[in-house]
């Protein structure tokens, strides 16, 4: 019960902070461009608590902690607004009346603030505790493991698993975990020579779900605090590196190089939140930085419901000199909602499978 409570509290706090950062980007950009903000909500559904600031913005803490939103004044255009909404518009303060560049700025600043948060978080970590590094060379080969049977030795560097290039130890662990019992090859660099070793990845059962294991270990070099300036540079570099790796992982799933079972959703984020909460503040901050990067990137995907989809509409408007037709926007939004719904459902099924729920249901029902 203690672990469950810690998981729930950590998840709500971590996600709440990251959603606040994202929506704060929208809010500040809207205020900067002269748009009145009607609502700033953390969470969805009925408001648990609400208050108003001097500018008339309603701030909410809502019941369902799965996101949040900022509602600019006049966000709905003249074609979508009711007569009552139009009568309440304040001239010069509506979102739809602003130039396309201002509207795009309001939308893009949400993801931008997620990346800025990641940079600040990494900077603080590197300036206070340094940056621990997993070394690329293998420090341990477990006796009887898949790696030992394949002929892997300490000091080897894994450069490829099957056709998939490997960037480091994290890639090794992530790729192996999603391919239990697969027969493939390892690209190995040993003393400056490249080798190819056939291997059958091992598996560890957890309920109905198997996780791939190779049986190798990597040593970590302890980090050392650096100057604030160097930490800031490293923070930018780390944010860029993590962003590129995340996009590479998405592409590898879409292209079939990685299993779609690696996609996690709300339940997995909650599980990981609870785990990192037990490791200390440095782990929490690092996890929040990585999650913030993912949140920023996901929102930039060109799906109409997301920020990236709206930016596509504004780019077309800027080029053509007129907004995308209402019909196209409506159909695109419906398709976008269907895609997001399907992705949420798929990732939730993955999460429930990983925790063995379906195995438990079918086992107890038989």
The arithmetic mean of pLDDT across residues 315-329, rounded, is: 87
Cα distances (angstroms) measured from residue 199 to each of 129, 149, 167? 38, 8, 19
Tell me the C-alpha distance between 266 and 299, whole Å.
Answer: 16
By percentage, how much of the chain surpasses pLDDT 70?
Answer: 85
Q: What is the pLDDT of residue 245?
A: 82
Mean pLDDT of the chain: 83
Contact (CB, 8 A) for 19 and 67: yes
Band of pLDDT at residue 1, cut at 50, 70 and 90: very low
Q: Say whether pLDDT at 221 is over 80.
A: no
| For the chain, domain boundaries | 2-33+98-127+290-365, 133-221
Domain 133-221: give its CATH code.
2.30.42.10
Render the burial of 304-325: b for 16+ CB within 10 Å, e for the rest. Answer: bbbbbbbbbbbeeeeeeeebbe
Specify the 3-state DSSP secondary structure of 44: strand
The secondary structure of 174-210 as a DSSP string is HHHHT-TT-EEEEEEEETTEEEEEEEE-EEEEETTEE
What is the mean pLDDT of the segment spanning 287-314? 91
Per the CB < 8 A criterion, the answer to whether 110 and 25 are in contact is yes
Q: How confident is the model at residue 271 (pLDDT cuts 50, 70, 90)?
A: low
CA 283 and chain centroid, separation: 16
Highest mean pLDDT: which of 56-60, 171-175, 209-213, 245-249? 56-60
Residue 224 pLDDT exceeds 50: yes
Going by pLDDT thresholds of 50, 70 and 90, the confidence category of residue 360 is very low
Residue 358: pLDDT band (50, 70, 90) is very low
What is the pLDDT, as a whole number, of residue 248?
A: 81
For residue 257 the two structure tokens come to 């190089």
Residue 313 confidence (pLDDT) above 70: yes
pLDDT of residue 206: 57
344 Cβ contact list (under 8 Å, min separation 6): 265, 266
> Comparing 104 with 278, which gets the higher pLDDT?
104
CA distance 259 to 241: 22
Statement: residue 190 has pLDDT above 50: yes
pLDDT for 354 equals: 59
Question: Average pLDDT in the 297-324 region?
Answer: 90
Please give the pLDDT value at position 3: 66
| Region 88-100 average pLDDT | 88
H/E segment holding residue 66: strand 58-72
pLDDT for 357: 40
Spot the catalytic one: 23, 148, 238, 262: 23
DSSP alpha helix (H) spans, the chain: 2-32, 83-88, 100-128, 146-150, 169-177, 228-254, 266-277, 281-300, 307-320, 326-354, 357-365
Cα of 313 vs its chain's centroid, Å: 23
- Please, which residues have CB within 8 angstroms of residue 152's CB and are 6 or more apart in sequence? 138, 141, 158, 186, 188, 197, 199, 214, 216
What pLDDT score was predicted for residue 363? 42
Higher pLDDT, 110 or 340: 110
- Residue 332 pLDDT grade (very low, low, confident, very high; cuts 50, 70, 90): confident
At 353 the pLDDT is 63
Whether 84 sits among the annotated catalytic residues: the reply is: no
Assigned token pair, 266: 């709300």
Two tokens, residue 109: 């600043």
Going by pLDDT thresholds of 50, 70 and 90, the confidence category of residue 124 is very high
């Amino acid at each position: 019960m203690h672990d469950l409570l810690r998981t729930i509290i950590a998840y709500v706090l971590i996600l709440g902070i990251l959603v606040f950062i994202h929506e704060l980007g929208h809010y500040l950009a809207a205020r900067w461009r002269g748009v009145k903000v009607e609502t700033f909500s953390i969470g969805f559904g009925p408001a648990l608590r609400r208050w108003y600031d001097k500018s008339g913005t309603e701030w909410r803490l809502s019941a369902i902690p799965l996101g949040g939103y900022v509602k600019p004044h006049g966000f709905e255009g003249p074609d979508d607004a009711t007569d009552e909404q139009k009568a309440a518009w304040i001239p010069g303060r509506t979102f739809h009346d602003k130039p396309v560049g201002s509207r795009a700025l309001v939308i893009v600043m949400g993801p931008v603030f997620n990346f800025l948060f990641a940079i600040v978080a990494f900077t603080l970590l590197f300036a206070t505790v340094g940056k621990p590094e997993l070394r690329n060379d293998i420090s341990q080969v477990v006796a009887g493991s898949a790696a030992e049977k394949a002929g892997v030795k300490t000091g080897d560097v894994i450069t490829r698993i099957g056709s998939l290039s490997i960037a480091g130890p994290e890639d090794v662990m992530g790729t192996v975990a999603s391919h239990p019992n697969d027969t493939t090859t390892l690209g190995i660099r040993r003393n400056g020579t490249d080798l190819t070793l056939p291997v059958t990845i091992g598996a560890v059962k957890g309920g109905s779900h198997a996780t791939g294991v190779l049986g190798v270990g990597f040593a970590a070099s302890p980090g050392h605090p650096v100057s604030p300036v160097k930490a800031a540079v490293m923070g930018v570099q780390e944010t860029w590196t993590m962003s590129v790796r995340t996009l590479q992982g998405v592409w590898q799933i879409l292209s079939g190089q990685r299993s779609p079972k690696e996609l996690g959703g709300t339940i997995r984020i909650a599980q990981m939140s609870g785990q990192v909460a037990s490791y200390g503040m440095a782990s929490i901050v690092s996890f929040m930085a990585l999650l913030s990067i993912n949140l920023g990137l996901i929102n930039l995907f060109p799906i109409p419901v997301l920020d990236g989809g709206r930016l596509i509409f504004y780019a077309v408007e800027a080029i053509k000199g007129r907004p995308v037709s209402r019909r196209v926007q409506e159909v695109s939004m419906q398709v976008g909602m269907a895609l997001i719904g399907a992705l949420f459902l798929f990732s939730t099924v993955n999460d429930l499978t990983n925790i063995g729920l379906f195995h438990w249901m079918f086992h107890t029902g038989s």
